[in-house]
């Protein structure tokens, strides 16, 4: 795994997570009668997206490729912690967000079990989006390698 | 109990998902095209320097 794979993973995740937040907001409107509320799940999701965006700002701010790769790797490892926190937060705090997977939290007010039809739809969607993620990441990695090649050539030509 | 019609929200969800993914794919295409052009130019410059 090089910087190209790292950037690809964060970029595709940022795009998918943005869709998740917007779609969650669209779901919340008829379900909660509001587009947005500072519920623990929504707050941690927004923070996670901001952490992802900040990764690109960090990379853009460092010119030395080696330093950029090292700082980027450390940031990605630390930033990655926000994903399990976002997953667990509705199980740890009182929230209006439903706990759909592993519904065992008494604190979650909107908990519900999925019907067989919903389960089928969820697994089909999970499969489709996994394939999409892998495909987009593959294309982004190829682009990243091209970026690295251009950057190296630029340094070579300018010397 | 009356069921609320949420078709509009579902359509909005599909539009957002396809639009964002489409824009991302387009951005990858454009950026890759520009990078290939840059690479060609830089390779030409490198060859010219060697001569």
B28 lies in some domain = yes
Size of interface A-B (CB pairs under 8 A): 56
B39 lies in some domain = yes
Q: Is B19 on the interface with A (CB under 8 A)?
A: no
Domain of B31, in residue numbers: 19-46
> DSSP letter at A95?
B
Nearest to A134 by CA among A16, A3, A54, A2: A16
B8 lies in some domain = no
List pLDDT tens digits, range A29-82: 999 999 999 999 999 999 999 999 999 999 999 988 889 999 999 999 999 999
pLDDT given at position A104: 55
Among B4, B25, B46, whose Cβ lies nearest the Cβ of A153? B46
B51 lies in some domain = no
User: Hey, what are B23's tokens?
Assistant: 């824009």
pLDDT given at position A147: 93
Share of chain A above pLDDT 90, in %: 66
pLDDT higher at A108 or A118 = A118
Residue ranges per domain, chain A?
A: 3-158
B31 lies in some domain = yes
B24 lies in some domain = yes
Chain B residues whose CB is inside 8 A of the A156 CB are 46
B5 lies in some domain = no
Tell me how far CA of residue B8 lies from CA of A77, A136, B13, B15, in angstroms.
39, 29, 9, 11
Domains contained in chain B, number: 1
B37 lies in some domain = yes
Among A26, A140, A149, whose Cβ lies nearest the Cβ of B12? A26
**Global model pTM greater than 0.90:** no
Q: Is A146 on the interface with B (CB under 8 A)?
A: yes
Q: Which A positions 56-75 lie with beta carbon below 8 A of chain B?
A: none
| Contact status, residue A100 vs residue A114, Cβ threshold 8 Å | yes
Interatomic CA distance for residues B32 and B39, integer angstroms: 10
């Amino acid at each position: 795994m090089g910087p190209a794979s790292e950037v690809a993973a964060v970029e595709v995740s940022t795009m998918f997570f943005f869709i998740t937040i917007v779609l969650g907001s669209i779901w919340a409107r008829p379900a909660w009668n509001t587009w947005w509320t500072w519920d623990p799940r929504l707050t941690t999701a927004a923070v996670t997206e901001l952490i992802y965006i900040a990764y690109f700002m960090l990379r853009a701010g460092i010119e030395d490729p080696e330093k950029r790769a090292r700082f980027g790797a450390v940031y990605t490892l630390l930033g990655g912690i926000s994903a399990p926190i976002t997953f667990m937060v509705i199980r740890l705090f009182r929230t209006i967000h439903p706990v759909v997977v592993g519904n065992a939290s008494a604190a979650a007010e909107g908990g519900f079990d999925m019907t067989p039809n919903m389960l089928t739809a969820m697994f089909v969607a999970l499969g489709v989006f996994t394939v999409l993620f892998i495909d987009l990441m593959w294309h982004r990695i190829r682009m990243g390698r091209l970026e690295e090649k251009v950057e190296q050539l630029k340094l070579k030509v300018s010397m | 109990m009356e069921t609320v019609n949420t078709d509009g929200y579902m359509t909005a969800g599909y539009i957002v998902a396809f639009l964002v993914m489409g824009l991302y794919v387009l951005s990858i295409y454009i950026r890759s095209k520009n990078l290939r052009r840059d690479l060609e130019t830089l390779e030409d410059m490198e060859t010219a320097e060697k001569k």
